[in-house]
Amino acid sequence: MKKTTILITMLMSIGTLTNFIFAGFGNGSDGELYVGGGQELSIGLATAVISNNYSGTSSIEVSDASFLNTDDEVLIITMIDPNENLDENVAGTFETKIIESISGNTLTFTESLENNYVTDGGQVHQVVDVPNYTNVTIDGTLSAYAWDGTSGGILFFRATGTVDVNGSIEASGKGYRGGLAAFRDNSAGLNGGGITGHWNYESYHYCTGGYCYNNGDLIEEGGYYFAVF
């Protein structure tokens, strides 16, 4: 079973647009979005953070900044933290920033970071482009790019006008990678990916009585697969 990470902002406002992100509605700089019937469009290009970055600084180095531009809004989010103490695990920590300048693959923001994004120790963070639309009309399917272990799996946009959904907004199978069910009696399933990044480890539970478990819990994704042997 595959789990999905989705962060969606669909907000409407009335008033004059400015060059600033305001009240959560965005600035409409990307214009109107129309997804036609029968069409599937993925938004939210993303790139992995590859440096240690600390609260109070204003720059981040990423693996690929080629799709980003100055004045773009981005989401910075921690996807994986190996710490299995959930009280200390920082997966899901995020903030949004506006890009002031780009030098190579280094992004500098108009404001300082509020959180630490450190890659030492196995944490995985990504920077996701956040489109700022005016009106959004979806007759087809609006989706996210799939999570690949370092980036993806996030659907996030803003709109200053109307958001009209006649089709669907979905990201099924685009989030943390799913596990593999056991295939015979006395075999073990493999857990799915999750916030600690432990993926495809052998389950602690073996097939018995018709149920094959693949180690789902609060930390790793999974569940059970029903089978009869």
pLDDT tens string 161-176: 999 999 999 988 887 6
164 and 196 in a common domain: no
Mean pLDDT is lowest, of 18-22, 57-61, 102-106, 138-142, for 18-22
Range of the domain at 83: 33-169
Partnered with residue 22 across adjacent β-strands are 26
Residue-level pLDDT at 76: 98
Q: Which two tokens stand for residue 58?
A: 């204003």
pTM of the model: 0.73
**Residue 161: C-alpha distances to residues 97, 135, 136 (Å):** 21, 5, 8
Q: Mind listing the pLDDT tens digit for each residue in 173-225?
A: 887 656 555 555 555 554 445 555 554 444 444 444 444 444 444 444 444 33
110 and 143 in a common domain: yes
Q: How confident is the model at residue 83 (pLDDT cuts 50, 70, 90)?
A: confident
195 and 164 in a common domain: no
CA pair distance 166, 226, nearest whole angstrom? 35
Residue 37 confidence (pLDDT) above 90:
yes
Helix (H, G, I), strand (E, B) or coil at 166: coil
206 and 148 in a common domain: no
118 and 53 in a common domain: yes
CA pair distance 191, 193, nearest whole angstrom? 7
